[in-house]
Amino acid sequence: MIKPILATTLIAFAFIGTAHAQQVFPATLTGHAQLPGSTFVAAPSGAAEHYNVSGRFTGPEGRVEKLYTNMQATGLALPFPSQPLQGFSGIRSLGDDRFLVLTDNGFGSKANSSDVILMFNIIKTDWDTGRVIIEETVQLSDPNRKVPFPIMNEATTGRFLTGADFDIESIQPVGDSYWIGDEFGPWIIQVDSAGKVLQVQATNPGGTLMRSPDNAFALAPNPGAPLADDVMVFRSGGYEGMALSEDQTTLYPLLEKPIWDSNANAPETIDDTPVLRMFELHAETGEWGDTTRYYPLESADHAIGDFNLIGGTRGLIIERDSRQGDPREEWADNPAEFKRIYLVDLKRTNEQGVLEKIAYIDLMDIQDPDGLAPRGTINGTFNFPFVTIENVDRVDESTIVVANDNNYPFSIGRQQERADDNELILLNVEDFLNAE
């Protein structure tokens, strides 16, 4: 989910990244499905009655208990009488048109999401009708007190985790458990099939502890502040993507934003190009590996949305700007411009560990010759103009799935004055997947 960026951070990021030469390949829409943004699930059995309502803390005046009080530009108002299922922020293809999807932390920040219980879901898409069916919802909890800090439900029986505890953004199934990447710590969390926490790993590759301002043990407001030596990760700059090796032994957590370089007193760059750190974590031992790779951004104000390996060491990474709205329709104040999926190979780096960008597809230029999309196609061209596109995985040898995080009920990317839905699309990109 998109979060506001402090003005000091914007100043720190106000430099231009080095352009990279890559091959661009076409993409053709072969399937479209959507889950309405206004989709809700009940609070889990054993949760307090408090969780029958969500969104109390999203207004400028703080707590509001009366339903539908805080009106949004989308025409919707909070609080809601249930738990929103919105905001897919990580996906894995399970075969047979079924997908594992991770729901974002709630309403975008630690301060406003304490009445949202964290969850992931198994969904099934019917590409013929465009429907998305929820097969299973798994809510997260910490009954065995594995989380190293006090959680919102510390003294309750269920000890369910909320959007005030973690901002979960990436997920990988490993055996009978799931590994989840968080942005608040940033933490790496392992849960069992019932969503119960098995372990929580701090970010300390090579023995260097890295924290964000939202870390429960951090003392400073942002990188660069006094006494902030270990606050190196920007707010909303944690593990937006996390890939998994084919043998399921190694996780590759990827930060969303460059870390703070205290020596340069600026966000990290290599040869004047802004870079994101990619680490290695061994799933069998929970230990950090020795290798750090770097993903080069096309511009310093970009972010990544997801990262999955698709075969061997080859992987897909979403890179996007923070704009939304179709530029062809001329209603958006800051229309989407840069929404791409890049092909990389973990073995193809330079001597400094910077990944080569082999090729890309442009999500603002998707061919829809059969008119499959119910909205977003003009003169045979479909686009994906969402502010946060945070899901990509390979479905088969020629097809990938892509989905947005709809930031319900805030984002307006698809249609003027209407809250975004959760859209999933299938793209035929065979030549792109085989690019060398």
Q: What percent of the chain has pLDDT over 90?
A: 88
Tens digit of each residue's pLDDT (9 = 90 or more) over 183-220:
999 999 999 999 999 999 999 999 999 999 999 998 66
pLDDT average, residue stretch 129-150:
97
Q: For residues 75 and 20, which has the higher predicted lDDT (pLDDT)?
A: 75
Nearest C-alpha neighbor of 366 from the set 381, 385, 376: 381
pLDDT average, residue stretch 18-38:
87
pLDDT average, residue stretch 70-99:
94
Report residue 229's pLDDT band, with 50, 70 and 90 as the boundaries: low
Structure tokens at 352: 């400094």
pLDDT average, residue stretch 375-387:
97
Tens digit of each residue's pLDDT (9 = 90 or more) over 51-70:
999 999 999 888 999 999 99
State the pLDDT at residue 263.
86
Residues 6+ away with beta carbon under 8 Å from 426: 29, 30, 31, 32, 127, 395, 399, 400, 401
- pLDDT(3) > 60: no
The architecture in CATH of the region 24-433 reads 6 Propeller (2.120)
How many CB atoms are located within 10 Å of the residue 127 CB? 15
Report residue 372's pLDDT band, with 50, 70 and 90 as the boundaries: very high
pTM of the model: 0.93
* Region label for 36, one of left (φ > 0), alpha (ψ between -120 and 50) or beta (otherwise): beta
pLDDT average, residue stretch 74-98:
95
- pLDDT(285) > 70: yes
- pLDDT(13) > 50: no
Distance CA 258, CA 232 (A): 9
Average per-residue pLDDT in the chain?
92
How many CB atoms are located within 10 Å of the residue 74 CB? 18
State the pLDDT at residue 84.
93
Report residue 164's pLDDT band, with 50, 70 and 90 as the boundaries: very high
- pLDDT(404) > 50: yes
